[in-house]
Amino acid sequence: MRALAPAVGLMICLAASPRWALADTESKAAVASGTAIPFRKDERDAASGLPTAIAALVLLVLLGWGGLHALRRFKLAPPGLAGKAKRVRLIEAVRIDPRVTLYLVAADDRTLLLARCGDTLVVASELARQNVSTGAGA
């Protein structure tokens, strides 16, 4: 969310129109030349551009939210935006017979050999991290 705040601030600055600055310079030019433009309204109230600015801000926020949602949906987001990193990973599962299965699981900095027999799951042993392959070559 911290990375989103500067982006929203930049979008607000880019979406805000400098109408007050343009109106000031144009009114000085009109006074200097002595002729006024008949169809131009010289005095504008302060809130005349407010609905447009709010609509643009809402549109930009929705576009940013949609972009982040698409990044997460298609797994293109960096790990910080994708949510919490997974801490448990199944390296390998071997079925011994229909009731007995062995699981090699990496959890944080530990690697565990789990055995399941029917409804019972036990930790068979904790293995050294450097002795365990990722299962790609097996």
69, 96: one domain: no
Calpha distance 52→10 (Å, rounded): 17
Calpha distance 45→117 (Å, rounded): 77
51 falls within a domain: yes
- pLDDT tens digits for 72-111? 788 776 666 556 667 888 999 999 999 999 999 998 888 9
138 falls within a domain: no
81 falls within a domain: no
- Pair 64, 8: CB distance under 8 Å: yes
Strand-pair partners of 111: 106, 127
Residue-level pLDDT at 15: 58
Q: Per mean pLDDT, which range of 4-8, 36-40, 116-120, 129-133 is the poorest?
A: 129-133
Domain tally, the chain:
2
63, 97: one domain: no
124 falls within a domain: yes
78 falls within a domain: no
137 falls within a domain: no
80 falls within a domain: no
The whole-model pTM stands at: 0.37
Calpha distance 49→58 (Å, rounded): 14
